[in-house]
Chain A
């Protein structure tokens, strides 16, 4: 507190300045000293300090060292994962209410050590109020209590790896760890530098609260090299990641082909629109901007979008409110250069600045700066930049405001300000983001699901919706564990197809040439060539088109033309279309059964049964159209929350060999019922029922383009689907190599993957004829992404 002695009462009486704020760090330091300034790894319920490990030091904002943490080595990884495996056995064997009780008991631990926790978070520059953790624990202890009664037929994965990047906040980390534990999983946590200290303290508190040893292990240092090693361990059943995009991508690539599912929440570094409509409470909106846009450590880059009619109004208020603001310290050394460059570029493109003072000529701080009148093409809008910079764009109409907000690869969250409830709800529905805050911003609560759209993630955290990340249907087989093959990703699916030019020596028995189905029309493949389809006996049964990437392109083009209006149809309308499809199938039942029989060699009776089941699946999903809805979660705040399932967009489906008609119809029905368009690739072994089904599609009133069917080489078409950015999800039945390719490729642009390795499936197709409830639930949850809307009231 230098200078505090020099200021007299009279000085301050005249200047009316604020006194210095001293942030205490005494309790945190006491804890660190108790650990001798060297934190070990947390394995099997205690701190361990294995000999001969590298350490790295954790520093505070001024760069001075706080303590050291251990860099976990391979032995530590296997030790902690096997400890996790035995911890899982003990933990999952407990009664639900015992697990719930332990989570609740941790609440008092967190409250007791709240000061220490928040000081540790402050030291690591990722603030997290203990009250937020308390709320997380209370919320998920409720779900722990109710798991078996409300979620029967679901089981935990086992040992889950939770990985976060260095810049991820403690809240985002615990938003994964606590539900994982609540559902009965054990967790191996790999925190980043910013969360290592509080995560270690929490692990200790968890054990004090009665968590069995091994259920929560913490491995520190070098996230990116550690995480793949952990994922490689066969005891790990699931990997989940939160943090920045770059590290997430690297993690996906490093774990591709291990046979372990991985999902990402890109919780750091998104650009998020902050939209102020002319009907807003302007002062409150500007207060919101001031509060959130110029933070030292920002999790997202806000883009301020203001309706033109109130632009001057907002700018004038910003100027007044920013006048007294102090410069904000930059996080990294090199940031100053980046900030200067970004500001300069914006100015060259005509932007004007609002700043409380001129930036200091050098140094590592920068005044809060609004870049007024930048164009959406300016790089400060396109890519998030460090420092307290806020681009300001204007829009003319409500529609344009939403378009402006949506025009970004990110889809994490948006804040919109209007007193007009109709406009608020319309805009909230049209914004392609996972979380919309009306007349508020950055409201985080575990009851409010966070589900990044577009590049912002492929899983849901929080809410009931987020629990399914840590559960699997009891009956579903998981991916077989394997070691990645040395796949040449550049060459996957590029092998020349075995296209045949049909040679008809005997014209009477000349096999039928099928067409594929793109945009509601039957057509040949772009390549013009065909492949032969063999009967079970080995004879050539028919020829089907040899589709490729251009066919996929055409199908996606057709799909994006109709999908938005298909999604906007009311669920009852979609239900009617599916019923009409079921009727059409009923009329063609004989043709379909014959096609199944000749293709698979099943008896006509069995084939008929498959057709009947397909009809009932269609009717089932038609009926479910308006039943599977979201809800209105309760928050410990005054207001209304909505959690809405939305269509993903265009889904690519690479179909399984088993039950070729039933599996296709089931997957088509669920995807289309939820408002998606599908591009389907029938099994190359049994494509005929799907091609025959085109007749059925044509007679139904499903809009053309909602369903496309493309035949050809599985790898070739998988490659084509994986490399189309519009496709948001791929459901894949195929071999391990295909899974590995998709995991590797679909990290950028990010897709939701639902992978199945059918080499392992030896059920003879029975699985599709009696889907258990949990699998049906999983199917529709795969077909949607969640959006939460928060409307606070007084």
Chain B
């Protein structure tokens, strides 16, 4: 894994010069969606790569140690081993990238993974997820507690109030403090793009989050009305490219919310390959936040291997 993004002092001049042409972005998104026509082993290979980028997620009020256990076990064996074997992929370490849970479930997840002898990292959402409308003090404390419980990755939500009112300095300072609280844990900043109003604001928020030292920028919590869309992703990865061109630091990207089909996961990979290049096609720079996506990918793999279309009950449950 390459060096983390250390961040940089807030450059407001850079932020103020941001310009995004919405229709051009929409057009580009359409192009990307029409780009990938992979078939056969190409499709299977790309789907397996998508699996390795999944942050397998459960973020529900009714999460218990029981379903978190199932999730952790599925994360370690995401694809039926007989299917992997027939593609000679059983020994290539195909697991999801991480499991992602609420702070209160971090301890459970860490325990189950350890028991299963798995080195999969546990990611925790934090900072008043999903709205971020809690005092800074408790938000910081939340990050520290999750890290203490063994979370190796923290998905923080940004303060939309500050972004919408253009208080970039204040937003930068908050994220900086979160980053300090994370310590060695990697920080993913959730921009909640559905609540930022314009693409220009999305671009600016992306830049500020990266300047403040985010390791990843993430589209949404999955709880807003608009989640990960391709156009918004184009805007965010362009900001990542811009930041890379200026500073040489590589920041990762995580779309989340509403990603359910294998086909969508292929479009996401295509988008990363087209916009940022092959390096952004692996778990250290690309994650897919999803819960039901994995089941669909597994079914597509089943089809590739057997030539049959699978029923959901053919696949082990998550």
Contact = CB atoms under 8 A, between A and B. Distances in A.
Interface of A: 4, 7-13, 16-19, 21, 279-285, 287-288, 291, 316-317, 320, 323-324, 417, 419, 439-440, 638-639, 792-794
Interface in B61-119: 87-89, 92
Interface of B: 19-28, 31, 36-46, 48-49, 87-89, 92, 238, 241-242, 245, 269, 273, 277-278, 281
B19 A9 contact: no
A153 to B, nearest CB: 41
Nearest to A16: B281
A17 B270 CA distance: 10
B198 to A, nearest CB: 10
Given A21-B37, A291-B31, A12 B23 contact: no
14 contacts: A4-B40, A7-B41, A10-B89, A16-B46, A281-B20, A281-B24, A281-B25, A283-B238, A283-B241, A284-B21, A320-B277, A324-B278, A417-B21, A419-B19
Given A19-B37, A316-B245, A439 B31 contact: no
B231 to A, nearest CB: 9
Contacts of B44: 9
Contacts of B40: 4, 19
A732 to B, nearest CB: 46
A12 B41 contact: yes
Contacts of B92: 10, 13
Contacts of B25: 281, 284
Nearest to B37: A21
Given A12-B41, A419-B21, 6 more contacts: A10-B88, A10-B92, A13-B48, A287-B24, A324-B278, A792-B27
Contact of B39 (A9, A19, A282): A19
Interface class of chain B by DSSP: helix
Contact of A9 (B20, B28, B45): B45
A439 B21 contact: yes
Nearest to B92: A10
Contact of A287 (B22, B28, B242, B273): B28
B19 A12 contact: no
A-B interface, 6 closest residue pairs, ranked by CB to CB distance from nearest: A19-B42, A284-B24, A12-B45, A794-B22, A281-B21, A13-B45
Contacts, number: 99
Contacts of A316: 245
B23 A794 contact: yes
Nearest to A291: B31
Contacts of B23: 439-440, 638-639, 792-794
A287 B271 CA distance: 13
Contacts of A285: 24
A646 to B, nearest CB: 26
A356 to B, nearest CB: 11
A16 B31 CA distance: 19
A18 B277 contact: no
A98 B43 CA distance: 50
A431 B41 CA distance: 51
A419 B22 CA distance: 10
Contacts of B241: 283, 317, 320
Contacts of A439: 21, 23-24
Contacts of A11: 45
Contact of A16 (B41, B238, B273): B273
Contact of A281 (B19, B48, B88): B19
A792 B22 CA distance: 9
Contacts of A792: 23-24, 27
A323 B37 contact: no
B49 A13 contact: yes
Contacts of A419: 19, 21
B210 to A, nearest CB: 16
Contacts of A639: 23
A419 B24 CA distance: 11
Given A7-B41, A323-B277, A13 B89 contact: yes
Nearest to B87: A9
Contact of B38 (A18, A279, A287, A324): A18
A794 B21 CA distance: 9
Contacts of B49: 13, 16
Nearest to A439: B21
Contacts of A8: 41, 87-88
A324 B276 CA distance: 10
Contacts of B26: 794
A324 B277 contact: yes
A317 to B, nearest CB: 7
B19 A288 contact: no
Contact of B88 (A9, A17, A18, A282): A9
